[in-house]
Structure 1
Amino acid sequence: MHKYLLALLLLSATAATAQNVEFSKDQFGSDKEGLKTAQKEIKAGDEFYDLDPPRYEQALPHYLAAQKFNPNNAQLNLKIGDCYLHSGFKPRALEYLQKAYQLNPDVDPRIHYLLGRGLHLNAKWDEAIAEYKRATPAAGAKNTAGFSQDIQKKIRECENGRKLAAKPSRVFIDNAGPGVNSAFADYGPVITADESVILFTSRRDNSMGGQKDPETGGFFEDVYQSTRTGKGEWSAARNLGEPVNTEGHDATVGLAPDGQRLLVYLEENGGDLNEANLRGAQWRKPQKLGSRINSKAHESSAAYTPDGRSLYFVTDKEGGIGGATFTGLKLRAGAQL
């Protein structure tokens, strides 16, 4: 029993004395080259992280490289966690955010909010709610009411998650098969209401122009289409080609229920939404949706309502909550977007 208590005391003491380690000569004087390399990685990561909007995907590998050299820096762990929150591997954020808080509870004014997100995305409902309740808006924040609304919404999501987890449903997720999936990144699927046609975004080596994105190293995005065969499988996807795809990035965003209108994202004017119409079996050239939707800000996602009369879209123009806002636009009968 005495040995057990001693072990507990030692563990508690270790946890209590965990300290933040800076990337400095005082800490790593014996490995100057390693320190210099790690500092360069952090600087490279910060160049992407500090952009508006941040390039989390590009910043992350630099931060991870620096973290291997020094895993006990609170600020770096927080940035890694934040990057993971904005990636396709969101649950990984939690361990880094928890470590950042352990190393320095005052590491960032957002720490309780970010911890809440990390716990939320790992289905730790009660712990996430507790962190959300501790979260406060950043000093000098203008939209405190919006922050409060966001917190209350996320708390409700956790409460709903807790209820759903108590009575789980059995769900089967099947791979769409080789007709749709490839060795490259395939994502952003949109499907017609009768589930006969699927369009999606892919970064394949047969993209228009065959160019590679200098920031990610992957091929440029293009829109691909596949149809369901008589056996219920998806046919080999084909690149839509011109006029939908260009030599730049072209990505699927939304599809009208009847499959006659396709929303496409283009990296123009900060990021704009365009609409292509299907005439017979051919897609027409995507047209800009106009100033009621597109702006100098970033419009990246959108969805039609089932009746096709309204469009909801995401924009990061001023006045939003949390950096991006989901906005609705009501259409008149026969009106153009």
Structure 2
Amino acid sequence: MMKYFIIPIMLVLSQLAYSQLTEEEYRAEFEKASFNELFDAGSSLMEDNFHVEAKRIWLYLLEKDSLNSNLNYKAGVCYYILKEYDAAIPHLKIATNKIKKGYIPYVPNFDFAPHDTYFYLADCQHKAEDLDDAKKNFNLAITSLKNGNPMIAKSELGLKQIAVAEKMMANPIGYEIQNMGDLINSPYAEHSPSVSLDGTSIFFTTNRLRKDSSNLKYISPQTGGYFEDIYVAFKDRNGNWSEPRPIDFSRANRNEASITSSADGQLVYVYQDDDGDGNIYVSEVYDTTFSTLDKFPEELNSKYWETHCTVTPDGNTIYFVSDRKGTMGGQDIWRITKLPNGEWSKALNLGEPINSAADQTAPFIGADSKTLYFCANNENSMGGFDIFVSRLEDGVWSEPENMGYPLNTVGDDYFYTTTADGLTGYYASERHNEGYGETDIYQITSPKSFINGVAIFKGYIMTSDGSMIPENLLIKVTNNTTNTEKKYKPRRRDGGYVLDLLPCNNYTISYFKGEETFYSLDLDIDCNTAYQEIHKEILLDLIELTGSGEIIAKAGDLNARIVGEKHWQLKKIDLDNFDNVSVKAYDEDDKFLFESIVNKFGQFKYKELDLDRKTIFEIIHHDDALCEGLVLDLYDANGNLVQEFEQEDMCTFEFSFNKDVANNNNNNNNNNNNNNNNNNNNNNNNSNNNNNNQTPKTFKEIGLKIYFGYNKNNVPSNDSQTSAFLSKLKKQLQEGRTVSIVVHGNASKVPTTKYSSDTELARLRAENMKGKIEAALKGIDPSKYTIVTESDVTGPVFSESMKAARSEYYQHQYVEVIVK
């Protein structure tokens, strides 16, 4: 069919993939060909799913014959496949002006369209919320198409979905739906959001242009867009999202998609299209970097198409999507569980009522491990994929419930995920005439939670100066009821952690620095709680461990230890150690506000309070004698006493803002500032006399430690931690510092499959970092620094039985820079 035009059009496609032809260059190619040649090329491109390029041809030909039903049909179908439904409608309407039997796609002189035009037009109108016209055209498709045509069943489904849409749109549910804005969303498509239980990290998939334009030349001919990357953003303690960035392993020339993350946000599950065989992989999150991808075993992955999964908070059950043999329709939801020996079970199809003859996808299991959200395009949907929810009771799944309008719409709504309480959700939607791109990510506040019987323990281990917490912190959770234990590592980026606990169980939570415990507490979880959230915050840097593990106080003024932050301090004349004490805060209506750990010196952080209302502080302790003679002081950010409170009742303080005290403090501070200014002037007058007595400038100690995934040896050029270190190093050298730089490359004893030995891998890590340092210091006097490289292989000897304990090896896979 394409014997005349096949070579030119393939040349165009080849050029597109690498240089993105301009419209003028496309037109120049098209003008070389006849109508028949262009028609053949466009039809073949559609057959091979190159709808972006085919659409260019149809639009070009329509400039010369704008009312041709066949050309408008072709253009409309291309727009439909590309999900540009509003753009498709006018073309498909024109196509319906001349519909006849006997349509053949490759015949160029046909000026009529086929009967399935009615279906495409109806489905576009359905998604545009033009429900009356959609019903009319679905009915026309049903009556005009031949028996057995699959468009008939799709049209019948469309009519059922319109009936559902009309009912639900007449009875909206009180969801609050908020677009996440242009920080997360873009003019491109965003989808597949996944959040940690505490809502502080979000992973999502997008085909946007990267900020550094590193994917500029990689265009998918099928979609006309960039390939999909996985992005991540983190929320700080003030509730603000960081700028999203692509995950380390995302490649510019192929599609990757985020699927889900573990409850604590320290594992991310990823879909990759392995040459048409879609599979699921997992990566560990270390601070804000990610390990290389590990493919799941064959119990989950198969020769069929596995696209999505969700993992219970305990990590022991995975629900996933597959079209493998045994499905009830297209894609079904399956389950595997971890056996006592640590292996995964065989896959089990969930069956009815979860699965059906329709497609099911994007499952998400709630924090209670019993609430399953998923998407389905069936007769209970408003249109396209809707979000459904089902509960597991006594081993049986309930009839799935459509979560209703306006969460669901007449377009595709999918990839629903929630935080632990089930009240805050995130999902991707094609909401009509809304958003920034094809699909956007939205945050949902739900009036109802389907999750029940959940206890979440979360908080922060903080340093008062905002510095990163040490690497060797660990939280051990011992379930005293079941005699089991789990270990968690707090996030180094912000000191945060989130742990899932079981109702009606007793726990001991122990905090470790290295091998030593620096704090512990016991918890009894209520048996009848629907949802319980426990907060604990610890100020770590008011405690120091000596090399022997002995706990000592740091020297210096304790009030000044919380640098630049307002804080509270409990005081008692005959007590200087407040071990295992916490404070609960309530408002004057007895509503719980927060709970904070008190450090051993009686200090806990200030939180913003409603200054027009009273706040009640209750001291939680192990001995009533603690509260005798106890007072509560409030200090400002400069360490000045703002106000002192005596107990209202035993172990209870009542705080109300005293404006007179605050004004007096401000006046005193202003007077002090004036005195300081006068002193500064006197100091300036004397400065010339002291020039000869200046001491050498001191520099802040700096260093760097970067961890690697398996077989990795080079730090990415856009690594922010490395860039910040190199900038500081260069600045110190420019300011007169002379240094000796030791670069230590380290490898674990996991046998490398890429290099001659682990010793070679360790050496490469050191040499590559040395090269980065030398490049960064180009232009600096070489006499100001020396660079020494060293390497080593350390850690436990590798064995097959330790494959799962990746963290044991990971801590030995690094490069460290020591500046002396």
Q: What's the TM-score, normalizing by structure 2?
A: 0.31
Question: Shift in Å at residue 111 of structure 1?
Answer: 2.5
Q: 1:228 to 1:189 in 2, by over 3 A?
A: farther
Q: Distance in 2 between matches of 1:236 and 1:50?
A: 40
- Cα deviation digits, residues 189-215 of structure 1 (max 9, x gap): 412143322222243343767642262
SS of equivalent to 1:194 = coil
1:62 to partner: Cα distance: 2.5
Q: 1:6-31 CA distances to partner (integer Å, 9 max, x unpaired)?
A: xxxxxxxxxxxxxxxxxxxxxxxxxx
Query: 1:100 Cα deviation (Å)?
Result: 0.7
Listed as ranges, the gaps of 5+ residues in structure 1 are 1-32
- Alignment partner for residue 208 of structure 2, among 203, 208, 221? 203
SS at match of 1:102: coil
Q: Secondary structure in 2 aligned to 1:135?
A: helix
**Within the alignment, does 1:67 sit opposite 2:66 as a pair?**
no
- Secondary structure of 2:218's match? coil
State the 1:316 CA deviation. Answer: 10
1:50/1:198 CA distance change after superposition, 3 Å: same
Conservation of the 8 A alpha-carbon contact between 1:187 and 1:202: yes
Q: Which of 224, 229, 233 lines up with 1:222 in the alignment?
A: 229
What's the counterpart of residue 255 of structure 2? 250
Structure 1 residue 277 corresponds to structure 2 residue 283: yes
Match of residue 45, structure 2, among 34, 44, 48 = 48
Tell me how far apart the structure 1 counterparts of residues 167 and 233 of structure 2 sit (CA, whole Å): 38
Task: Select the structure that is richer in helix.
Answer: 1
Report the Cα distance in structure 2 between the residues aligned to 1:319 and 1:80, rounded to whole angstroms.
35
1:183-332 equivalence runs, <5 A: 185-192=188-195, 193-200=197-204, 201-205=206-210, 206=212, 211-213=217-219, 215=221, 218-241=225-248, 244-256=249-261, 258=263, 259-281=265-287, 282-289=289-296, 299=305, 301-304=307-310, 309=317, 311-313=319-321, 325-332=330-337
Contact 1:63 1:80 (8 Å CA) reproduced: yes
* Structure 1 residue corresponding to 2:132, chosen from 126, 131, 136: 126
**What is the CA–CA distance in structure 2 between the aligned matches of 1:208 and 1:257, rounded to whole Å?**
29
Q: CA deviation at 1:296?
A: 6.5
SS of match in other structure, 1:278: strand
The answer to whether the Cα contact below 8 Å between 2:119 and 2:151 also exists between their aligned partners in 1 is no
Match of 2:87 among 54, 75, 92: 92
C-alpha change, 1:44 and 1:292, in structure 2 (3 Å) is farther
1:235 offset after TM fit, Å? 0.4
Tell me if structure 2 keeps the 8 A contact 1:253–1:303.
no
Match in the other structure for 1:114: 120
1:12-60: CA deviation from partner (whole Å, max 9, x where unpaired): xxxxxxxxxxxxxxxxxxxxx9795655544443232111xx2333422
Q: Secondary structure at the match of 2:135?
A: helix
Q: Residue 549 of structure 2 aligns with which residue?
A: none
Amino acid at match of 1:286: L
Specify the alignment match of 2:775 in structure 1.
none
Instruction: Give the C-alpha shift of residue 237 in structure 1.
Output: 1.6
* Farther off after superposition, 206-215 or 124-133: 206-215
Cα deviation for residue 218 of structure 1 reads 4.9
**Identity rate of aligned residues, in percent?**
19
User: How far apart are 1:88 and its partner, in Å?
Assistant: 3.7
Question: Shift in Å at residue 71 of structure 1?
Answer: 1.4
CA positional deviation for 1:168: 5.2
| Distance in 1, Cα, partners of 2:334 & 2:180 | 33
Change (3 A) 1:55 1:155: same
Q: Give the number of the structure with larger relative contact order, counting CA–CA contacts within 8 Å between residues 6 or more apart.
A: 1
Asked whether the 8 Å contact 1:262–1:277 carries over to 2, the reply is yes
Provide closer, same or farther for how the CA distance between residues 64 and 210 of structure 1 changes in structure 2, counting only shifts above 3 A.
Answer: closer
Aligned to 1:158: 162
Q: 1:176 touches 1:234 (CA, 8 Å); kept in 2?
A: no
Shift of 1:120: 1.1
Amino acid aligned to 1:94: I
CA distance in structure 2 between the partners assigned to 1:219 and 1:250 by the alignment: 9
Worse overlay, 278-287 or 58-67: 278-287
Q: Which amino acid aligns with 2:162?
A: C
Question: Structure 2: which 5+ runs fail to align?
Answer: 1-29, 102-112, 348-820
Q: Which has the larger radius of gyration?
A: 2
- Name 2:667's counterpart in structure 1: none
Q: Distance between the aligned counterparts of 1:277 and 1:188, measured in 2?
A: 19
Task: Select the structure that is richer in strand.
Answer: 2
Q: In structure 2, what is the Cα distance between the partners aligned to 1:222 and 1:164? A: 35
The aligned amino acid for 1:163 is K
TM-score (norm 1): 0.69
1:277–1:319: structure 2 CA closer, same or farther, 3 Å change rule?
closer
Deviations 1:170-206 (A, max 9, x none): 8776553454345x73522412143322222243343
Judge conservation of contact 2:306–2:320 (CA < 8 Å) in 1. no
Between stretches 94-103 and 35-44, larger displacement belongs to 35-44
Contact 1:189/1:198 (<8 A) preserved = no
What's the CA shift for 1:225? 0.9
Which residue type is aligned with residue 209 of structure 2?
A: R
Paired position in structure 2 for 1:10: none
- 1:226 shift after superposition: 0.7
Task: Determine the C-alpha separation between the residues in 1 that align with 2:44 and 2:303.
Answer: 22
- TM-superposed CA distance for 1:149, in Å, is 5.3
